[in-house]
Chains A and B, each alone.
Chain A
């Protein structure tokens, strides 16, 4: 099968800042692909170009077989997105929010079923702005799934969530992958990339400096003779936290 996302020599600058400096990579259909990098590396810029939201200065990109630069709305029809910074229309319930986005695709969907699939069935009639951070992320994913996208783009889906909510979201993302959707996510959490992603691209100052399955990246590092300077712990503080507060998602 041909790659579902193909990026060739992509470039973007904002005035003096070269945010993306000619990157090339591809994403296999059905995988969870992670774009990992520190703040300001250019992750959001890259993702939003692929989503047809920003214009690139050079290079080429296709998503789901559609040229992003020539037919951005064709791309938009085939993908689902969760933006790093965005909000929903005011004063709507979770269910109406899903309906609003379905209307944006000119589709009618079973809103309740979709909300149940992200574990929000109980919250269908709750005002969207009264949801917790984790619930809002899941609603955001629900709105991104209304058009049964071929690729789901998630820009830092777990930032700001507590450990339980993060794990819950990971399960959801694996679930979505299990239904055959390709997932393209960005993160700066290494554990998240390691656990969730089939392949990871590490981005640094507009360049991709490594791209491999997480295990391979680690093995390569060890093969270069790397040893951790501190003693490997059997557990860390996060394990303590999860042990004390449980693995279940917190719902007030």
Chain B
């Protein structure tokens, strides 16, 4: 233990002095968050809705007008056929079909209630959810208007405008997840393969150091750096973007930690396998890039083509992002995200076995 702590102290010192490593572990993640956060690149404060008004009566006009008046929605009127085409090309988030028998009137007992048909784009579930919620509330409000008294409307109005899932709220957990992955894999793989190539590991292995202690020191170094990275990102998210972590910081940090350990095992496996520094970026990109795009970092994980979604949905980063996002946005507890955590632990075990098999200190 004493040996581990002493080695850890020195490795950490070396790491912190490495400007390049620090830049990639702290500055780049911040830049990613600020750029995407400010530019609102994946903005879905606005939901594009097509309406096919087949009723064209007083009530339907009223509904369409109200929907058009809501900032969050971009409303166009289209026929169902056109709109469905646009939907398929993800040029639209939703389609609302107002049936020809649509009325807003107190329902008489036994009478069939007119039904709105809502189509949503699978690839943008957040937008669709927001859109559905708004429409439901508008309908509620209209129903109230015919059945109840006026003041209710004002209250409802605020609620309707209040349904705003900001992009940064969605973005921050994704940024956390992707940076945990990058830091853990790249910092371990690059550093250890460089040590291997330059003969640092050979020199160390000429001492009676316990390999497990040395590895533990490397792991601890990365955990501290990862914790620092998470802290900085969260601080900026809270201060600059006013993000609220609904589920609280502790569950978020716990999941982040599990994720770090998972990706560290992959980093060690990669470092064990690679024999030259040139192999590292190629393989590391091969592992991280698909997850970068398909694991719901900047956009929904459902943006992945439907065909490969069964695979992308169980990628380590997808599980991590899901868990982080459910905690941060929806206020989930650790118990609520137990499925994702179980998945992460299974991946960790797999990574650990791979690392142990591939990492041979004696060879150096």
Q: Chain A residues in contact with chain B, CB under 8 A?
A: 51-53, 73-74, 76-77, 81, 83, 85-92, 96, 99-101, 103-106, 147
- Stretch binding the partner chain, chosen from B7-15, B161-169, B300-308: B7-15
B199 within 8 A of A: yes
Q: Are A76 and B10 in contact (CB under 8 A)?
A: no
Q: For residue A87, which residue of chain B has the nearest CB?
A: B198
Q: Are A104 and B204 in contact (CB under 8 A)?
A: yes
Residues in B neighbouring A74, C-beta threshold 8 A: 208
Q: How far is the CA of A87 from the CA of B203 in the complex (A)?
A: 7
Q: For residue B5, which residue of chain A has the nearest CB?
A: A103
Contacts A/B (CB < 8 Å), 8 sampled? A76-B207, A83-B206, A85-B202, A89-B195, A99-B6, A100-B10, A104-B204, A104-B214
Given A76-B207, A76-B208, A90-B18: A103 in contact with B7 (beta carbons within 8 A): yes
* Minimum distance in angstroms from B78 CB to a CB of chain A: 61
Interface residues of B in 189-245 (CB under 8 A from A): 191, 194-195, 198-200, 202-209, 214
Residues in A neighbouring B198, C-beta threshold 8 A: 86-87
* Minimum distance in angstroms from B203 CB to a CB of chain A: 4
Interface of A is mostly: loop
Q: How far is the CA of A90 from the CA of B194 in the complex (A)?
A: 10
* Minimum distance in angstroms from B75 CB to a CB of chain A: 58
Q: Are A99 and B200 in contact (CB under 8 A)?
A: no
Q: How far is the CA of A100 from the CA of B207 in the complex (A)?
A: 11
B3 within 8 A of A: yes
B89 within 8 A of A: no
Q: Are A101 and B207 in contact (CB under 8 A)?
A: yes
Q: How far is the CA of A147 from the CA of B208 in the complex (A)?
A: 11
Residues in A neighbouring B206, C-beta threshold 8 A: 51-53, 76, 81, 83
Which of A83, A88, A103 is the one whose CB lies under 8 Å from B6?
A: A103
B2 within 8 A of A: yes
B17 within 8 A of A: yes
Residues in A neighbouring B15, C-beta threshold 8 A: 91
Q: Are B10 and A86 in contact (CB under 8 A)?
A: no
Closest 7 CB pairs of A and B: A86-B199, A104-B207, A86-B203, A104-B209, A103-B6, A91-B14, A87-B198
A-B contact sample (18 more), CB < 8 A, given A81-B206, A86-B203: A52-B206, A76-B208, A83-B206, A87-B195, A87-B203, A89-B10, A89-B204, A90-B191, A92-B10, A92-B14, A96-B10, A100-B10, A101-B207, A103-B209, A104-B204, A104-B214, A105-B209, A106-B2
Residues in A neighbouring B195, C-beta threshold 8 A: 87, 89
